[in-house]
Chains A and B, each alone.
Chain A
């Protein structure tokens, strides 16, 4: 089976840096996605990691350690518009490459 854990909620201050962690247990890991979802809207793709290391895209970076079953999403120079839920999703080779979503982390940005 598989299990994906993320903190339920986090709070950070505008202009700061925040790290959202995701741990997973799956027998056939085959890639990890991060999505952003504003309240009442559809999820939108942020990043994809399949190899260990850091992927940087502007203010957002995503890190993966396959041996530790661990990923994080790093958001720099936080803006009010970054207030959203962040969803970690894992593709499982042993389940026909199905993509399993975590429950998401709701991020609140304070001015």
Chain B
């Protein structure tokens, strides 16, 4: 089944404790992206990647890192999480960035 998977689905952590949210797609898509979704603010792009080893900042990249060492994986790293990073995070992939995106199920992160 074609899909985008994210892990974990739910995470509660404390300020400053490094964490990684994994994202994987099995559709051989070149384009992958991370979004956060907050009430009243909609989906905002954090980082995106057009292909392996190519990553670019989205609209809200501060406090986040990403890597794209393999085509299928695009992990999101929070080196030192803060409470303002409490949010619902979605990973998405697309054939080449010009077509529709397929979203993962979301990761609900709470930073206390």
Complex: A99 Cα to B48 Cα, angstroms: 10
Task: Please give the number of chain B residues whose Cβ is less than 8 angstroms from any Cβ of chain A in the complex.
Answer: 22
* B106 in complex: contacting residue of A33, A41, A102, CB < 8 Å: A41
Q: Is the CB of A48 within 8 A of B43?
A: no
Distance of A33 Cα from B44 Cα, bound (Å): 15
Which residues of A64-111 have CB atoms within 8 Å of chain B's CB atoms?
87, 89, 91, 96-104
Residue numbers in A under 8 Å from B90 (CB-CB): 42-43
Contact call A103/B42, Cβ cutoff below 8 A:
yes
Of chain B, the residue at the smallest CB distance from A96 is B56
Q: Decide if B105 is an interface residue (CB 8 Å cutoff).
A: yes
Cβ contacts under 8 Å, A45 to chain B:
100-102
Instruction: Assess whether A101 is in contact with B97, with CB atoms less than 8 Å apart.
Output: no
Q: Quick check: is A31 within 8 A (CB to CB) of the other chain?
A: yes
A44: CB under 8 A from chain B?
yes
Contacts of B98 in A (CB 8 A): 31, 91, 97
Q: How far is the CA of A98 from the CA of B43 in the complex (A)?
A: 13
Q: Taking the nearest CB of chain B, how far is it from the CB of A29, in angstroms?
A: 14
Please tell me if the beta carbons of A101 and B43 are within 8 angstroms of each other in the complex.
yes
Instruction: Determine the main DSSP class of A at the interface with B.
Output: strand
A89 to chain B, nearest CB (A): 8
Selected from B35, B100, B103, the residue in CB contact (under 8 A) with A33 is B100
Cα of A103 to Cα of B48 in the assembled complex, Å: 20
Residue among A42, A89, A100 facing the most chain B CB atoms (10 A cut-off): A42
Q: Mark A30-68, 1 if CB is under 8 A from B, else 0.
A: 010100000011111100100000000000000000000
Q: What would be 6 A-B contacts, judged by CB atoms less than 8 Å apart?
A: A40-B106, A41-B106, A42-B90, A45-B100, A99-B101, A101-B43
A45-B100, A87-B42, A101-B43 given. 17 additional CB < 8 A pairs?
A: A41-B106, A42-B90, A42-B106, A43-B43, A43-B101, A45-B101, A45-B102, A48-B99, A91-B98, A96-B56, A97-B98, A98-B48, A98-B59, A99-B97, A100-B45, A103-B40, A104-B42
Shortest Cβ-Cβ A-B pairs, 7 listed? A103-B42, A42-B103, A45-B100, A101-B43, A43-B103, A101-B42, A42-B105
